Amino acid sequence: MASIATTPTGAKPRRRSGLGRRLLSPVTRTTGVARWILVAGLLLTLVFVVAAVFAPWLAPYDFAQKRLADGQAFPKMTAPGGDHLLGTNDQFFDVLSRVVWGSRTAVEVVVLSIAASLVIGVPLGLVSGYLGGWLDRVLLLVMDALFAFPSLLLAIVFAFLLRDVLGGTVLADVLGVGVTSAALSLTVIYIPQYYRVVRNTTVSAREATYVEAARAIGASRWTVMRSYLFPNVVSSVPVIGTLNAADAIGTLAALGFLGLGIQPQEAAEWGYDLNRALDDTSAGIWWTGLFPGLAIVLLVTALTLVGEGLNETVNPTLRRRKLVAVVLPPRDEKVRS
């Protein structure tokens, strides 16, 4: 591209509007490998999101369907092909449908758990870091205690506890008790990460002159936190978010694999299917385990790629910015005369 280009008169240089540009900036700002990592991750994630959103139309059958509408039962453990593209499993379920519906469960759990940990962890970190004092100490102690537990163990305990607590709540009615309790138990183990990162960046940003300047113009604590600290401390949060999302898929599958997660009648869940398929492998039945497993691996990979790609764009020490060619505006004779 020529460094000095003239656009045709009358045509304005194309500039995306503010929001669009900011949303796309991670992609447009990066270069080289980071960009491809990010794009590949985003595309792969998009496939699963589409599957999740359009599951009722994409999946040939329902996730808990064992017989056709006319009452004819599905064959048990039939090989891929024919009416069942990826075969059926020992519970007469259609594997393809279970995989597609499983992506809906996965996306629901990930979105709910990450959103909840953001909504709780980030403000807690801000308040704790800015106000300090005894509140900061107590919160630090609680969060460090949560950190100290093995995350899977913690998730199991909370999944059990929340199951009883959540029954009958609005959230549980919409998403199902299994999905909600799994998501919120993941929330509990992820909050400390957001809290820690935001709190520590807030503590260092608190001493910045612009925060002092905000106080000098009469901003209240709330305004300082919202308008001055928040925009400057959240930059690393999206990276943790995406990496946590990948981790959430793994933990959710582990819960399901142990039989402690979502029950098969509530929603399709890859980890549970994997557990059921464990015995099939010795009998040479590969399709019941391969496809749910593949889905887990692909989605975890996709989210990790997004996280790593984002990290390289957001983290200034890793970032390599693209050189943008300078486009001078066309010479306007009228201005000069």
Partner 1 sequence: MPTRPETAAPTETLIEVEELEVHFRLQGSSLARLFGRDTGHVRAVDGVSLELHQGEVVGLVGESGSGKTTLGRALLGLEQPTGGRIRYGGKDITRLGERDLRSLRTELQMVFQDPNAALNPAMTIARQVGHPLRIHGLAKGRDDLRAKVSQSLERVGLAPVERFLDKYPSDLSGGQKQRAVIARAIITGPRLLVADEPISMLDMSVRSKILQLMLDLKNDLGLTYVYITHDLASAKFFCDRVAIMYLGRIVEIGRTEEIFRDPKHPYTKALLAAIPDPDPDRALPRDLPRGEIPDAADPPSGCAFHPRCPRAFEACGWEPRDLQTLLDSHWASVSVEDYEREREVVGDLSGLERARGRAVLRPGAGSTAADVRALLDRLRAADPEEPFWRGVESVDVEGGDVIVTFAPAEDPVLRTVSAVRVACHLYEA
Query: Counting Cβ atoms within 10 Å, is residue 11 exposed (0-12), middle (13-18) or buried (19+)?
Result: exposed
Residues facing residue 75 across a β-bridge: none
Shortest distance in whole angstroms from residue 114 CB to partner 1:
23
Shortest distance in whole angstroms from residue 215 CB to partner 1:
6
Q: Does 23 bind partner 1 (CB under 8 A)?
A: no
Looking at residues 109 to 148 of the shown chain, list those that interact with partner 1 (rule: CB under 8 A): none
In the bound state with partner 1, the residue whose beta carbon lies nearer, of 9 and 209, is 209
Q: Does 218 bind partner 1 (CB under 8 A)?
A: yes
In the bound state with partner 1, the residue whose beta carbon lies nearer, of 5 and 213, is 213
Q: Does 216 bind partner 1 (CB under 8 A)?
A: yes
Q: How far apart are CA 280 and CA 90, in angstroms?
A: 8
In the bound state with partner 1, the residue whose beta carbon lies nearer, of 154 and 233, is 233
Query: Counting Cβ atoms within 10 Å, is residue 153 exposed (0-12), middle (13-18) or buried (19+)?
Result: exposed
What is the CA 181 to chain-centroid distance, rounded? 17
Shortest distance in whole angstroms from residue 207 CB to partner 1:
10
In the bound state with partner 1, the residue whose beta carbon lies nearer, of 58 and 219, is 219
Q: Does 326 bind partner 1 (CB under 8 A)?
A: no
Shortest distance in whole angstroms from residue 286 CB to partner 1:
53
Looking at residues 222 to 241 of the shown chain, list those that interact with partner 1 (rule: CB under 8 A): 223, 227-228, 231-232
Window contacting partner 1 (CB under 8 A); options: 55-63, 217-225, 255-263, 285-293: 217-225
Structure tokens at 73: 């039962």
Shortest distance in whole angstroms from residue 222 CB to partner 1:
11
Q: Which value, in Å, is the radius of gyration of the alpha carbons in the chain?
A: 25
Shortest distance in whole angstroms from residue 15 CB to partner 1:
12
In the bound state with partner 1, the residue whose beta carbon lies nearer, of 31 and 232, is 232
In the bound state with partner 1, the residue whose beta carbon lies nearer, of 24 and 283, is 24
Size of the site for partner 1 (CB under 8 A): 17
Q: How far apart are CA 89 and CA 74, in angstroms?
A: 10
- 66, 46 Cβ separation under 8 angstroms: no
Q: How far apart are CA 184 and CA 220, in angstroms?
A: 33
Q: Which residue has the tokens 């900061």?
A: 136
Structure tokens at 169: 């709540």
- Give me the amino acid identity at 279: D
| Longest CA–CA separation in the chain, Å | 87
Structure tokens at 283: 């009998």
In the bound state with partner 1, the residue whose beta carbon lies nearer, of 8 and 231, is 231
Query: Counting Cβ atoms within 10 Å, is residue 233 exposed (0-12), middle (13-18) or buried (19+)?
Result: buried
In the bound state with partner 1, the residue whose beta carbon lies nearer, of 154 and 211, is 211
Looking at residues 185 to 214 of the shown chain, list those that interact with partner 1 (rule: CB under 8 A): 208-210, 212-214
Which residues in this chain contact partner 1 in the complex, by CB under 8 A? Answer: 208-210, 212-220, 223, 227-228, 231-232
